[in-house]
Amino acid sequence: MLTIDQATYDAIVRHAKRDHPDEACGIVAGPEGSDRPERVVEMVNAAGSPTFYEFDSTELLELYKQMWDRDEEPVVIYHSHTATEAYPSRTDIGLASEPGAHYVLVSTREHGNNEGPVEFRSYRIVDGEVTEEEVAVVPELPTR
């Protein structure tokens, strides 16, 4: 199960709506081994596409250096789908390289960047196998 605080959930949804009609992407970092999504890092979709996302390799390398320096890891890897449901595509599954991460997909297909709900779902993707998991949105994460 992914437990995420309301502010982080809202930040991911805002990013997805703002970048619509292109796919948005980013990472939520947290302390290594904690499973706590604490620091939202919006990334640039280097593909600039409504049907595909790609992290900018230089930006991604810098983020990983930051995380290593801060003893963090990617707890959530997120992106949006602008015209389809919030379910990993074959490409998404092939790109999934962090077996400990929660892969969050936000679908903006119904309302785009306008007011209205989105589809927000989380998955574990390990060795090409996709498992959907429950998402619990809490006011704030419990104190460590």
Q: Are 2 and 78 in contact (CB under 8 A)?
A: no
> What pTM does this model have?
0.96
Q: List, in order, residues 6 or more apart from 12 with CB less than 8 Å away.
A: 26, 28, 40, 76, 78, 104, 106, 120
Which of 135, 32, 41, 38 lies closest to 79 in space, CA to CA?
A: 41
Domains annotated for the chain, with CATH where assigned, are: 2-138 (3.40.140.10)
Give 39-75 pLDDT, tens digit per residue: 999 999 999 999 999 999 999 999 999 999 999 999 9
Digit-coded pLDDT (tens) for 22-38: 999 999 999 999 999 99
Mean pLDDT of 107-122: 92
Amino acid identity, position 42: E
Task: Give the list of residues 6+ apart from residue 119 with CB closer than 8 angstroms, or none.
Answer: 85, 86, 105, 106, 107, 109, 110
pLDDT confidence of 11, banded at 50, 70, 90?
A: very high
For 44, other C-beta atoms within 10 Å of its C-beta total 17
For residue 144, the model assigns a pLDDT of 73
Q: What is the mean pLDDT of the chain?
A: 96
| Cα 61 to Cα 84: distance, rounded to the nearest angstrom | 29
Average pLDDT over residues 99-128: 94
